[in-house]
């Protein structure tokens, strides 16, 4: 079938021009719609990325805070350990003098009287004890009791003398030197 167009040429040109204009408008509308859709997608992607970035930043900040808290806890734990070690060292070298003096009192025979007791935990011998007694046997018993005690060691007899002017019943003056068992090795190391 043959189509014959009987429209005048001006109408034909107008009609062709209208078709081109309609095509151009529809292409422009498609471009605008595509641009709007791409803008919406880009904005949604931007919002998603910003939200994810915010969550990631919050997570990093929380991790940094936890690391800071962990570091503080580790420093506190190390400080506590150092203080515990220092306390243990002090306890190793600390003498409970009430127990030491009670042990010394328990080991003393009834006929022995003390004149002087000198104690110094930083040097050896830790104790120098001067006293009086009525018999040499009592000095030997006293020395043996001190040696068998868990508190004293390195008990040595320093000297004795006869006290002619004794009015208290102690005719023999004596001096004993000994160390506290706890401090004997430390004091020996300090004097060398």
| Residue 164 placed within a domain | yes
In angstroms, rounded to a whole number, what is the distance separating the alpha carbons of residues 1 and 5?
Answer: 13
**pTM for the complete prediction?**
0.48
The 10s digit of each residue's pLDDT in 70-80 is: 899 999 999 99
Same domain, 90 and 110: no
Same domain for 186 and 101? yes
Q: Is the pLDDT of residue 182 over 80?
A: no
DSSP assignment letter at 15: H
The answer on 101 and 187 residing in a single domain is yes
Q: Does 72 lie in the same domain as 17?
A: yes
Residue that is last in its domain, among 94, 121, 149: 94
pLDDT value at 192 more than 50: no
Domain count, the chain: 2
| pLDDT tens column, 136-176 | 888 888 888 888 888 888 888 888 888 766 555 558 899 99
Residue 113 CA to its chain's centroid (Å): 50
What is the domain extent for residue 28?
9-94
Average pLDDT over residues 38-49: 95
Residue 79 and residue 22 share a domain: yes
Q: Indicate the residue among 72, 94, 116 that finishes a domain.
A: 94
pLDDT in tens, 1-32: 677 767 788 888 888 899 999 999 999 999 99
Whether residue 180 is found in the same domain as residue 116: yes
SS3 call for 74: helix
- Among 46, 62, 94, where does a domain finish? 94
- Residue that wins the pLDDT comparison between 174 and 99: 174
Determine, yes or no, domain membership for 1.
no
- Contact criterion met (CB below 8 Å) for 103 and 110: no
């Amino acid at each position: 079938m043959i189509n014959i167009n009987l429209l005048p040429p001006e109408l034909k040109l107008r009609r062709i021009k209208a078709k081109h204009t309609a095509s151009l408008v529809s292409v422009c509308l498609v471009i605008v719609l595509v641009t709007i859709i791409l803008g919406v997608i880009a904005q949604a992607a931007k919002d998603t990325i910003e939200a994810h970035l915010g969550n990631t930043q919050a997570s990093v900040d929380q991790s940094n805070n936890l690391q800071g808290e962990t570091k503080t806890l580790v420093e506190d734990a190390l400080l506590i350990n150092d203080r515990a070690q220092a306390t243990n060292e002090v306890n190793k070298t600390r003498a409970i003098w009430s127990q030491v003096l009670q042990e010394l009192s328990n080991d003393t025979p009834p006929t022995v009287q003390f004149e002087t007791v000198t104690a110094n935990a930083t040097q050896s011998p830790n104790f120098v004890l001067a006293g009086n007694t009525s018999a040499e046997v009592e000095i030997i018993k006293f020395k043996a009791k001190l040696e068998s005690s868990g508190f004293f060691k390195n008990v040595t007899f320093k000297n004795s003398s006869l006290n002619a002017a004794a009015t208290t019943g102690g005719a023999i003056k004596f001096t004993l030197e000994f160390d506290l068992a706890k401090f004997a090795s430390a004091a020996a190391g300090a004097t060398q």
